[in-house]
Amino acid sequence: MKRKYYYLLASFAFVGNLGAQHNNELYNDGALIHVQAGAEVHVWGDVHMREATGNLQNNGLIKVQGHSYSDNLFQQSGTGIYRVENSDVNTGERQFIQGSYAVRGGQAATGVNDGSFYNLELANDQGIVYLVGTGNIADVRNSVDFNAGATYNRIVTHDINATGPITYPANGSAYTAVFGVMNPATGLGPLANNTVSLNGNMSGVDAGYVQGNLRRAVSALGGQYNYVVGLEPAGAGAQRGMQYVLLDFNANNYDVITGFFETASSNAGIAGLECSGEFIDYWGGSDHGEWILNDITGTGAGTYGVTVYPQDDNLITAPVWIITKDNTFQGTANDCGPSPVGLSRSGFNGFSEFGVAATTSALPIELIDISAVGVEDHIKVVWNVASESNLSHYELERSEDGIDFELIATLDAEGNTTNTLSYQHEDYDVRRFQHYYYHVRSVDLDGSFEYTPSVVASIDGYGEGFNENAVSIYPNPTTSNTAVAIHADQQMSIVMTVMTASGQLVHEQKLLLNSGNTIVNLASNEWANGVYIVELRDELSGKSITKRLIKN
């Protein structure tokens, strides 16, 4: 039996009665259909692709006004465009893709056992293209365009009836089909004309994303991969619409990662300390939900970061937020943020559930600075605060190695105030020429607490004057806030400025230093990533010290 070949070399249409819907269909029961570059094929009905010998070599443009069906044997190749569009006939009707227009496996199966599209364009006038079936129904090897027509489309990865009412699942786990981007290129490029707002809230977004399951091929070299996933659009306060999440990989072997959003998933865990001593006791999954992400092998490894964009009005107002994994605190310690929208955390390995958590308590103090200085036969520790909120007391702790601290004094706090306050303690239980480290634990009325940075001092023999060695910045590089540690041999008036590498001023502050060590906190978590120049200038002598800070 000879194999059938169809070569479509120019504009070609399967034409019949323009009023007929889902007639004039294209059937391929095992033939090779070749569409050359520059050619257009218009199918005014449905497309059916079948059999292991069935091969669609599309290097041109195919416009389909009906549904697309295939079995799991059909092959597709070429670098052309497949457009789902109902502009001529079937206007106002649903369009769906059913069967196996997909890469049947991981990245190694691309082009080998492959029914996927190269470029898929969505132009349904109802703004939705449905995937019908279970598992990987449709993939693209290059890109999908969510707005190839007059209306932004979204992909719904769930079985529907051709006619009649549609009921959407409330959770991503109930969506049976999967849409895939098997192009391992990073970024949003393979998801063209999506409606992601990288710098804003997306509560009003109701198109240009995947409703249900999205899988992406991931490069072994790493990079950023965007999951424009969510649930059915709905009003404010309902966990619907786009629930965007971004993954930032280092070198890995994950191959393909699938993600969806689960509104009914709680991330409740054991309350504990994180974010530099914050008491994390609020679990946002109970009010919002979680992102569920998994690699197809189940054995992939490699570290990565997560950035989430929860879209609803139900999360509480809190000063400190953290991303949880599998209902626990994982990832890089103290990698936290001030808002759940755009919240990032790094250092994860392996996949499953990601939610947001926070502290329900306001920060007990707003620390201005802390210093320690040796004075003849004792060391004087001073800390200044701009405010206190529900604060019980302070506990001053000391260490000889900077690691193991012991309690040496307890001071009552004012409690609740917006006035600037100064606290001090004179430590006489010290030896000469021994360095002593101090930090203060501020304890809230509910028992939660946070620590100040540590300072160090000694009696005699300590201090190098105002020079390069007297100033240090840590952590550096930083992903959040930064502390500048300054040692002075005498009282000094200093002006500190922070500028971008291009010379733009981002921070300026005047400091009155006491003799000894002073810690100044910089809110670098609010700055853009890049290189910054930190300059400290003595107003009396004009001498300046310059340090380089890297924000990642």
pLDDT at 17: 36
Of the listed ranges 214-223, 416-425, 442-451, the one predicted with least confidence = 442-451
| Rounded average pLDDT over 380-402 | 90
DSSP class of residue 362 equals P
Neighbours of 3 (CB within 10 A): 9
CATH class of the 468-551 domain in this structure: mainly beta
What one-character DSSP code corresponds to residue 158?
A: S
Closest by CA to 268, choosing from 293, 251, 287, is 287
Residue 443: name the closest of 453, 452, 433 by CA. 452
pTM: 0.66
- Percent of all residues in the chain with a pLDDT value above 70, rounded to a whole number: 91
Closest to 309 measured CA to CA, from 247, 251, 400: 247
Considering only CA atoms, which of 46, 41, 43, 124 is closest in space to residue 85? Answer: 124
The token pair at 48 is 């059916």
Please write the tens of the pLDDT for every residue from 74-123.
999 999 999 999 998 889 999 999 999 999 999 999 999 899 999 999 99
Q: Which of 227, 226, 272, 218 is nearest to 250 (CA)?
A: 218
Sheet holding 544-551, edge to edge: 505-513, 492-500, 530-538, 544-551
Mean pLDDT along residues 11-35: 67
Q: What is the maximum alpha-carbon separation in the chain?
A: 104
Top CATH class of 365-457 equals: mainly beta
Lowest mean pLDDT among 13-17, 30-34, 281-285: 13-17
Q: What is the 3-state secondary structure (H, E, C) of 161-197?
A: CCCCCCCCCCCHHHCCEEEEECCCCCECCCEECCCCC
| pLDDT one-digit tens code per residue, 156-196 | 999 876 566 788 888 999 999 999 999 999 999 999 999 99
> Is the pLDDT assigned to residue 464 strictly greater than 50?
no
- Measure Cα distances from 322 to 228, 258, 357, 551 in Å: 21, 23, 5, 19
**pLDDT per position as a tens digit, 195-252:** 998 766 676 778 899 999 999 999 999 999 999 999 988 665 667 889 999 999 999 9
Backbone angles phi, psi at 284, to 5 degrees: -70, -20
Q: What angle do CA 279, 281, 282 make, to 5 degrees?
A: 130
Q: Check pLDDT > 70 for residue 9.
A: no
From CA 535, how far away is CA 118, in angstroms rounded? Answer: 53
Q: Do domains 365-457 and 468-551 have the same CATH topology?
A: yes
Q: What is the pLDDT of residue 465?
A: 62
Percent of the chain whose pLDDT exceeds 90: 56
Residue 5 reports pLDDT greater than 60: no
Q: What are 262's two structure tokens?
A: 């689960």
pLDDT of residue 188: 93
Nearest-angstrom CA–CA distance, 153 and 56: 25
What pLDDT is recorded for position 540? Answer: 74
CA angle 521, 527, 533 (to 5 degrees): 70
- To which H or E segment does residue 400 belong? none
How far is C-alpha 104 from the geometric centre of its chain's CA atoms?
Answer: 28
Question: Cα–chain-centroid distance for residue 50?
Answer: 40
Q: Is it the case that residue 436 has pLDDT exceeding 80? A: yes
* pLDDT for 262 beyond 90: yes
pLDDT score of 290 more than 60: yes
pLDDT score, position 119? 98
Q: Is the pLDDT of residue 1 over 60?
A: no
Q: What is the pLDDT of residue 315?
A: 86
CA-to-CA separations, 376 to 65, 428, 459, in angstroms, rounded: 89, 10, 6
Q: Cα(157)–Cα(426) distance, rounded to whole angstroms?
A: 67
Higher-pLDDT residue of 314 and 269 is: 269
pLDDT at 398: 95
Structure-token pair, residue 422: 């100064």
Per-domain boundaries in the chain:
94-358, 365-457, 468-551
* CB within 8 Å of 340: residues ≥ 6 apart: 284, 288, 308, 310, 315, 321, 356, 358
Confidence of residue 552 (pLDDT cuts 50, 70, 90): confident
Per-residue pLDDT tens over the stretch 507-540: 999 998 887 788 888 989 889 999 999 999 888 7
| pLDDT value, residue 199 | 64
Per-residue pLDDT, 107 = 95
Q: How far is CA 421 from CA 18, 227, 335, 453, in A?
A: 82, 47, 29, 18
pLDDT score of 474 more than 70: yes
Q: Could you give the CA distance from residue 7 to residue 59 in angstroms, rounded to a whole number? A: 11
Q: Is the pLDDT of residue 462 over 70?
A: no
Q: Which residues contact 177 (CB under 8 A, 6 or more apart)?
A: 131, 132, 133, 134, 135, 136, 137, 138, 157, 158, 159, 212, 213
376 has pLDDT over 80: no
Give yes or no for a contact between 54 and 30, defined as CB atoms under 8 angstroms apart.
yes
- Distance in angstroms (rounded) separating the CA atoms of residues 222 and 185: 10
Residue 47 has pLDDT above 80, yes or no: yes
Q: Say if residues 181 and 213 touch (Cβ distance below 8 Å).
A: no
